[in-house]
């Protein structure tokens, strides 16, 4: 009993550590383009225009609806009032909840293995980094673990409540992201492998428990999941067609998984990122200790050596589920780094067990102390990576978890625009043109959300005039120059434009994506005059010296 209480306290302590690592300074890192798109989509729901599931983009609706909670709690009612905290607190919450849910497996995984898994979940650099990303992945991982955890608890004591909770988690998975079917497939395959192994051994346990599921409980699980998913996809019955769209969407995503060359990477992309990464003169990044411990834990489960008192069927399920996820995500050519979180969490569960196995197999006190020191050293390295990844290399391409991310120069772009747009007398919200082919201007709509007169375009329009301030891709500079010197406009009526940014006259929106800035000459001069030092004040200070 004392051991159980101690382990629960340690898991709660790991949860507090998770909060401390994920919560501070959410605005420090520029908003990723995907985050800004999701925030823009959420703004429609927040401001009363409703939500309608799009089967081609944006993923499932849970992220949007759960964001209503922090928005309401902080009295945010418009897009302009939103902050990074408003949106990023949602994945932070589910990233922390993922640590706390380790309590569900306390008996099956082993008490100290659960503590180890909770700690590693709390300090994993990838888990922390993407818990601060306003995307669906952390929600999906949390709901998947909830389904596994409540499903396991159901096998221990078959109650209708546990069956329903399992179904709710399955429904939330489906309502979160289309890639849930990968997890569903891995779970189903892992379950049948466990059943097959138990049949060969002529033993009972987890597999027999599942076979003895009451039909009413199974129906309750399916119905609960279907209701939860349908409620979200139908926008809580306002858009019934969204339920069918949630099924039709897979034609789009199957095609994207096989034919999208923009995010195509080698099969070992995820494993290499976890084991060893170094770019340029940046530091070494590695969650290799988690991978190594997961191998130890998985091997111990398959060989049944060095294991504490556990549920072997549950551990086998986690082993084959994790292997299935690794294989499926590695085979799919379309890869983005946050997609690995699902199988990374499976590795973390096995790593917690692996740490316990290593300590148990050590024959004497000294080897155990050495192993524990190595584990502490590896954990310290993970913590350093958490700090570096989120507070030093938060948007630096030398960080392997930074992917197609805006550079920190986005803040300078926004600052320069604000100097003129907010400071221009008589026109506090002057018109701004943002011109980028392919609408490649994200995340700027997030940063300009309080401006009412921004015109977004993918080409220079000949039929309209130019705004006082312009941000543009270098690819349209020639068209802009032609527009500046439009001969159809009398010479005395033409407006001269100056570069908004200092030499080399552009800033980086993202690596390899530059952005030029132009401001009308009369506004530039007015700004210079307003910020120029007072000559009389300069004379006074000189005389004082």
- SS3 readout for 490-535: CHHHCCCEEECCCCCCEEEEECCEEEEEEEEHHHHHHHHHHHCCCH
- How do strand 432-435 and strand 469-472 relate by DSSP bridges? parallel
Residue 107 lies inside a defined structural domain of this protein: yes
Domain check: are 68 and 112 in the same one?
A: yes
Task: Out of 365, 391, 417, pick the residue that ends a domain.
Answer: 391
Evaluate whether 115 touches 11 at the Cβ level (below 8 Å): yes
- b or e along 421-434 (b: 16 or more beta carbons within 10 Å of the residue's beta carbon)? beebeeeeebbbbb
Q: Is residue 514 packed enough to be buried (19+ CB in 10 Å), middle (13-18) or exposed (0-12)? A: middle
Can you tell me the distance from the alpha carbon of 238 to that of 52, in angstroms, rounded to the nearest whole number? 9
Provide the pLDDT for residue 535.
60
Domain check: are 14 and 78 in the same one?
A: yes
Task: Out of 362, 391, 420, pick the residue that ends a domain.
Answer: 391
Provide the pLDDT for residue 104.
95
Provide the pLDDT for residue 95.
97
Task: Give the helix ranges, DSSP H, for 332-440.
Answer: 341-361, 365-391, 409-421
Residue 100 lies inside a defined structural domain of this protein: yes
Domain check: are 226 and 368 in the same one?
A: yes
Domain check: are 274 and 133 in the same one?
A: yes
How many domains, the chain? Answer: 2
Residue 401 lies inside a defined structural domain of this protein: no
Domain check: are 334 and 417 in the same one?
A: no
Provide the pLDDT for residue 206.
56
Residue 536 lies inside a defined structural domain of this protein: no
Domain check: are 382 and 441 in the same one?
A: no
Provide the pLDDT for residue 62.
97
Secondary structure class of 454 (helix, strand, coil):
strand
For each successive 10 residues of the chain (545 residues), what is the average pLDDT?
83 97 94 95 94 88 97 94 96 98 93 95 97 96 97 92 96 95 95 87 61 84 96 94 89 69 85 94 94 96 82 93 96 93 97 94 86 94 96 93 93 90 60 90 93 88 80 91 74 78 89 90 79 61 61
Domain check: are 361 and 486 in the same one?
A: no
Domain check: are 313 and 444 in the same one?
A: no
Provide the pLDDT for residue 491.
65
Domain check: are 212 and 182 in the same one?
A: yes
Provide the pLDDT for residue 260.
65
Largest CA distance in the chain: 99
Domain check: are 225 and 325 in the same one?
A: yes
Residue 540 lies inside a defined structural domain of this protein: no
Domain check: are 161 and 197 in the same one?
A: yes
Domain check: are 186 and 323 in the same one?
A: yes
| 142 contact partners, CB below 8 Å, separation of at least 6 | 94, 95, 97, 98, 101
Can you tell me the distance from the alpha carbon of 241 to that of 257, in angstroms, rounded to the nearest whole number? 25
Can you tell me the distance from the alpha carbon of 446 to that of 444, in angstroms, rounded to the nearest whole number? 5
Q: The tokens of 349 are what? A: 């569960």
| 317 contact partners, CB below 8 Å, separation of at least 6 | 148, 190, 191, 194, 206
Residue 230 lies inside a defined structural domain of this protein: yes
Secondary structure class of 483 (helix, strand, coil):
helix
DSSP 80-104: GG--HHHHHHHHHHHHHHHHHGGGG
Residue 128 lies inside a defined structural domain of this protein: yes
Residue 269 lies inside a defined structural domain of this protein: yes
Q: For residue 318, what are the domain limits? A: 2-391
Element (H, E) at 262: none
| 223 contact partners, CB below 8 Å, separation of at least 6 | 167
Provide the pLDDT for residue 131.
97
Task: Out of 326, 359, 391, pick the residue that ends a domain.
Answer: 391
Provide the pLDDT for residue 4.
82
């Amino acid at each position: 009993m004392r051991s159980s209480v101690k382990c629960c306290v340690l898991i709660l302590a790991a949860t507090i550590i998770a909060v401390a690592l994920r919560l501070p300074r959410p605005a420090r890192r520029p908003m990723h383009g995907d985050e800004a798109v999701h925030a823009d989509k959420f703004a429609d729901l927040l401001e009363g225009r409703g939500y309608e599931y799009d089967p081609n983009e944006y993923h499932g609706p849970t992220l949007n609806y759960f964001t209503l909670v922090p928005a309401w709690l902080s009295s945010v009612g418009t897009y302009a009032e939103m902050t990074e905290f408003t949106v990023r607190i949602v994945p932070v919450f589910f990233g922390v909840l993922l640590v706390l849910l380790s309590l569900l497996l306390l008996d099956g995984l082993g008490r100290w293995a659960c503590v180890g898994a909770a700690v590693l979940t709390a300090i994993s650099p990838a888990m922390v980094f993407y818990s601060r990303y306003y995307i669906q992945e952390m929600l999906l991982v949390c709901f998947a673990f909830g389904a596994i955890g409540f499903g396991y608890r159901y096998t221990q004591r078959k109650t209708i409540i546990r069956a329903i909770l399992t179904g709710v988690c399955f429904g939330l998975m489906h309502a979160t992201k289309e890639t849930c079917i990968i997890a569903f497939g891995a779970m189903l395959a892992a379950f049948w492998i466990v059943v097959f192994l138990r049949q060969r051994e002529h033993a009972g346990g987890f597999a027999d428990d599942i076979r003895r599921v009451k039909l009413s409980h199974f129906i309750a699980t399916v119905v609960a999941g279907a209701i939860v998913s349908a409620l979200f996809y139908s926008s809580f019955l306002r858009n019934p067609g969204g339920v069918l769209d949630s099924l039709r969407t897979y034609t789009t995503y199957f095609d994207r998984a096989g034919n999208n060359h923009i995010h195509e990477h080698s099969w070992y992309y995820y494993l290499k990122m976890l084991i060893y990464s170094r770019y340029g003169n940046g530091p070494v990044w590695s969650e290799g200790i988690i991978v190594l411990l997961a191998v130890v834990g998985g091997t111990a489960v398959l060989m049944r050596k060095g294991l504490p008192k556990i549920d072997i069927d549950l551990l086998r399920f986690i082993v084959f589920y994790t292997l299935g996820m690794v294989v499926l995500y590695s085979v799919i050519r379309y890869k983005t780094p946050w997609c690995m979180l699902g199988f990374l969490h499976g590795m973390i569960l096995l790593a917690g067990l692996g740490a316990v196995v290593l300590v148990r197999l050590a024959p004497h006190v000294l080897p155990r102390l050495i192993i524990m020191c190595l584990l502490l050293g590896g954990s310290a390295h993970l913590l350093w990576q958490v700090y570096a990844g989120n507070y030093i290399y938060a948007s630096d391409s030398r960080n392997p978890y930074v992917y197609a991310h805006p550079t920190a120069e986005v803040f300078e772009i926004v600052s320069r625009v604000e100097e003129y747009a907010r400071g221009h007398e008589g026109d506090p919200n002057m018109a701004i043109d943002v011109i980028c082919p392919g609408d490649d201007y994200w995340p700027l709509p997030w940063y300009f959300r309080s401006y009412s007169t921004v015109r977004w375009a993918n080409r220079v329009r000949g039929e309209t005039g130019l705004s006082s301030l312009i941000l543009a891709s270098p690819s349209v500079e020639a068209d802009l120059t032609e527009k500046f010197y439009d001969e159809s406009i009398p010479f005395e009526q033409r407006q001269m434009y100056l570069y908004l940014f200092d030499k080399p006259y552009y800033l980086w929106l993202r690596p390899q994506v530059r952005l030029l800035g132009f401001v009308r000459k009369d506004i530039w001069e007015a700004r210079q005059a307003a910020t120029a030092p007072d000559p009389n004040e300069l004379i006074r200070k000189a005389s004082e010296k």
